Amino acid sequence: MREDTIALVYDCFMLMANAMERAGSIEGPAVRQALAQTGSYEGVTGLIRFDEYGDPIKPMVINQLKHGGIYYLEQVYP
């Protein structure tokens, strides 16, 4: 598994743990409501926030394939 994928998985788990902690429950409806009330969450991959439809909004990483490797170029913030 690539490092960037591992970081995204980590952020997902930590975001869910944060929502469960704020909800005081692990029940689906309570966790879903806590997620919906997340203003923003600072993860290892950047700031994560949600739009009015519950879709995540986060920075996009742009990499370049060059000389047989992947090189980081920049992050674009929405």
User: Do 62 and 75 contact (CB within 8 A), yes or no?
Assistant: yes
Note the pTM of the prediction, 2 decimals.
Answer: 0.72
Per-residue pLDDT tens for 34-68?
A: 988 888 899 988 889 888 888 888 888 888 999 98
* Cα gap 78→59, rounded to integer Å: 6
What is the per-residue pLDDT across 9-32, written as a single tens digit (0 to 9) for each? Answer: 999 999 999 999 999 999 999 999
Domains of the chain (ranges; CATH) run 3-76 (3.40.50.2300)
Helical H segments across 24-59, by residue range: 28-36
| Token representation of residue 22 | 């704020």
What's the confidence (pLDDT) of residue 53?
A: 84
Q: How far apart are CA 35 and CA 14, in angstroms?
A: 12
Angle at 60 between CA 37 and CA 75, to 5 degrees: 115
Q: Is the pLDDT of residue 72 over 90?
A: no
Residue 1 binned pLDDT confidence (cut-offs 50, 70, 90): low
CA distance 3 to 61: 13
